[in-house]
Structure 1
Amino acid sequence: MLGPLASLKVLDFSTLLPGPFASLLLADMGAEVLRIESPTRMDLLRVLPPHDHGVSASHAYLNRNKRSLALDLKQPEALEVIKQLLADYDIVLEQFRPGVMERLGLGYEALKAIDPRLIYVSITGYGQTGPYKDRAGHDINYLALAGLASYTGRADSGPLPLGMQVADVAGGSLHGVIGLLAAVIARQQTGVGQHLDVSMTDCAFSLNAMAGAGYLACGVEPDREDQMLNGGSFYDYYRSRDGRWLSVGSLEPDFMKQLCTALGLEELSALGLSPQPAQQKKLKEALKTEFEKHDFAELCSLFAELDACVEPVLSLGEAVRHPQIKARELVTEVPRGDGSTQPQMACPLKFSDGLPEPRHIGASLGQHTDQVLAELGFSAQRIEELRAAKVVS
């Protein structure tokens, strides 16, 4: 089985999370992804704990199904290797700050002159233009500048560090894949490629969705705990007697009726639709009181039989063992290369024709250097010369 993207061949110059998560999705769907890695400046993801069999679990996951070519892009011979690769690979994914690839002789215009069909995807924090284009940043900064952090969290304690990288993944990775595949479709129609400028801040800004639409059209500035979905209504998390949490999203009348009936609060079910803050506060306090009368297991058992949009907050370990996650086969075994396998999160996309089985965990640095160069026609002697000159490793 080859996968729906088996015709795509991608040179991946990215590191850390946004680019690698994007190319992971592409590789899982069958694309051939070749990582171009510096032999002198290690991808820090390789040393991020925890480690399994001496390998970063995050790196092993985010870079599965990809080959690794260790190439020093600052050396002139490296540019010739890239030019030869472009005869076969017609998609480039890079994550350097604006201008870096140009200084290396690998900018879009330079490579487009070699192959007009080239699709070139640049993922950065702030984009290729604007006053912040050269500024350093991380996920928390992009969420802050995009306005998202202003109405998340609690009114008395401020925004929360979310624990997962929304701007990196939902912004850079997913939007990068969407844009890349759109450019592929356009190339099928026109015969030419294009440069895709993906800013994680831009994409995070678009995630404002309903709140952003309300502000731009109506001037309604959202604040913490003053919107229906950010803690300003009963839609929230509730603590059990033994200190666990459950999520309540019973927005529709039927769901609210089941919730209130289960907790002996039938007379309050009509408050769920009330736009009045005082009514929402009354309902929320009543729910809080009732949830705190019961242990977590009791509440889970109670709501398991109801269609009330109430679900427990699970640890990762509990999520892995949950029957829904297991039924959807969201954990897969990936070969390590030594005959054993590593459990990893599976590709979440379900195709009726299926996807190819995972081939291997993230490769060691330069694991496929000799193989790739041999495919390009380099002799064993020339490969050794390049290695001696520290162009490759």
Structure 2
Amino acid sequence: MAGALEGLTVLEFAGIGPGPFACMMLADHGARVIRIDRPSKGARVGDEGQRDILNRNRERIELDLKDPLAIAQIRDLVKQADAIVEGFRPGVMERLGLGPDVLLADNPKLVFGRMTGWGQDGPMAPLAGHDINYIALAGALHGFGQAGGKPQFPINLVGDFGGGGMLMAFGVMAAVFSAQQTGQGQVIDCAMVDGAAILSAMTYTFLGNGRWKDERGVNLLDGGAHFYDTYETSDGKYVSIGSIEPQFYALLLEKTGLANDPEFAPQMDPRVWPKLKERLTALFLTKTRDDWCAIMDGTDICFAPVLSLREAPKHPHNAQRGSFIEDQGMVMPAPAPRFLGTPAPRPSLAGRSKG
């Protein structure tokens, strides 16, 4: 099987973070992705120091974008492509002679994916930034962290990858579908600040309905509730608890020996959450993480151990599903989601030979 996207051709202008992630998603599922690197910049087959999971499954060519012959070669490639993905600041592709007006004239069905932090317009569009800045402006960063503490950013998952790369992959496929129906390509203005905002849609629902305080660490899903949090264990490790529904909360109380404790009865009263969290904090410190796994695994408590990056691939559930794979000695996440009819080919850090 070649994957669900066999027959799709994408040109990727080399970058970092969200653009490569979007193209990894497409390549994982069978798209032919040709990565255009500047000379002597990109990862090379066999260069162990330059292995990059985000660049797996690619064909790769080196072109000097300041060379008119290279620009002509790219325009020839575009004529046979379904989409391009670029992550330059607004205006750079136009100055190279590769703007949307030029490339859509060469190929009217082309999908022109533009990946930026701030978007193609607006007062901040020409400015530099990183994930932490985009999610800050979107309102997302404000919600991460403990009550009374400073915002804590979740690595660069929300801006670069969730709100950036994943949205670009969706955008490419939506625009390709549209081009197939209409014969007309278009530009995708994929901004990480927009993506981080749309990832917050449910939170804005809660806020608009008066079910969310616009502050950190005091709400149902941000660590405010005692039944939806992480707890340290006696060996310095952690477990996660997500017992929101009443039946799951009842199981939590049963397995922790608190089923008959009247203090834990008013589950949804935020006024008692801080005190009950203190009690659970002390309780979870009485056993190791493995002890709690022995008690809570296989139940509907909504429980899982907090695993490290090295531990996660070895967990029996992940191992059975093949959620992680290994190539050239490097452990990496397997392609997702899974297509049962057109499963993704096994990824390779070495890339693919040119077709």
What is the TM-score of this pair, normalised by structure 2?
0.92
SS at match of 1:258: helix
The structural deviation recorded for 1:161 is 3.1
Match for residue 189 of structure 2? 197
State the superposition RMSD in angstroms: 2.3
Looking at structure 2, the residues matched to 330 and 38 of structure 1 have their Cα atoms a distance apart, in angstroms, of: 33
Deviations 1:284-310 (A, max 9, x none): 222112111222221111111422112
Looking at structure 2, the residues matched to 232 and 359 of structure 1 have their Cα atoms a distance apart, in angstroms, of: 40
Looking at structure 2, the residues matched to 230 and 343 of structure 1 have their Cα atoms a distance apart, in angstroms, of: 31
Q: CA 1:193 to 1:53, structure 2 compared with 1: closer, same or farther past 3 Å?
A: closer
- The letter for the 2-side match of 1:254 is Q
Looking at structure 2, the residues matched to 296 and 350 of structure 1 have their Cα atoms a distance apart, in angstroms, of: 31
Match for residue 35 of structure 2? 35
Looking at structure 1, the residues matched to 30 and 261 of structure 2 have their Cα atoms a distance apart, in angstroms, of: 52
2:12 is aligned with 1:19:
no
- Which structure carries more helix by proportion? 1
Would you say the 8 A contact 1:95–1:123 is kept in 2?
yes
**14-23 vs 325-334, greater mean Cα deviation:** 325-334
Looking at structure 2, the residues matched to 214 and 21 of structure 1 have their Cα atoms a distance apart, in angstroms, of: 30
2:225 is aligned, of 233, 246, 257, to: 233
Match for residue 357 of structure 1? 345
2:105 is aligned with 1:113:
yes
Would you say the 8 A contact 1:268–1:283 is kept in 2?
no
1:301 is aligned, of 294, 316, 329, to: 294
1:140 is aligned, of 105, 129, 132, to: 132
Looking at structure 2, the residues matched to 237 and 90 of structure 1 have their Cα atoms a distance apart, in angstroms, of: 45
- The letter for the 1-side match of 2:56 is R
Residues 171-210 of structure 1 aligned to structure 2 (within 5 Å): 171-210=163-202
Match for residue 9 of structure 2? 9
The structural deviation recorded for 1:272 is 6.4
Match for residue 311 of structure 1? 304
Unaligned runs of 5+ in 1: 373-393
Q: How many residues align?
A: 353
Match for residue 65 of structure 1? 57
Looking at structure 2, the residues matched to 224 and 281 of structure 1 have their Cα atoms a distance apart, in angstroms, of: 14
2:43 is aligned with 1:55:
no
2:214 is aligned with 1:222:
yes
Question: Percent of aligned pairs with the same residue?
Answer: 38
Looking at structure 2, the residues matched to 103 and 265 of structure 1 have their Cα atoms a distance apart, in angstroms, of: 67
Match for residue 264 of structure 1? 257
The structural deviation recorded for 1:220 is 5.7
2:162 is aligned with 1:170:
yes
- The letter for the 2-side match of 1:313 is V
The structural deviation recorded for 1:2 is 1.9
Deviations 1:305-360 (A, max 9, x none): 422112111112221100111111122244x5xxxx65432102211124343363
Would you say the 8 A contact 2:100–2:187 is kept in 1?
yes
Match for residue 384 of structure 1? none
Match for residue 389 of structure 1? none
Looking at structure 2, the residues matched to 274 and 342 of structure 1 have their Cα atoms a distance apart, in angstroms, of: 44
Unaligned runs of 5+ in 2: none
- The letter for the 1-side match of 2:230 is Y
Q: Please say which structure displays the higher CA radius of gyration.
A: 1
Residues 367-378 of structure 1 aligned to structure 2 (within 5 Å): none
What is the TM-score of this pair, normalised by structure 1?
0.84
- The letter for the 1-side match of 2:223 is G
Deviations 1:86-121 (A, max 9, x none): 221131110000000000000111111111111100
Looking at structure 1, the residues matched to 262 and 16 of structure 2 have their Cα atoms a distance apart, in angstroms, of: 47
**149-158 vs 116-125, greater mean Cα deviation:** 149-158
Would you say the 8 A contact 2:213–2:219 is kept in 1?
no
The structural deviation recorded for 1:232 is 1.3
Q: CA 1:97 to 1:227, structure 2 compared with 1: closer, same or farther past 3 Å?
A: same
Looking at structure 1, the residues matched to 290 and 142 of structure 2 have their Cα atoms a distance apart, in angstroms, of: 35
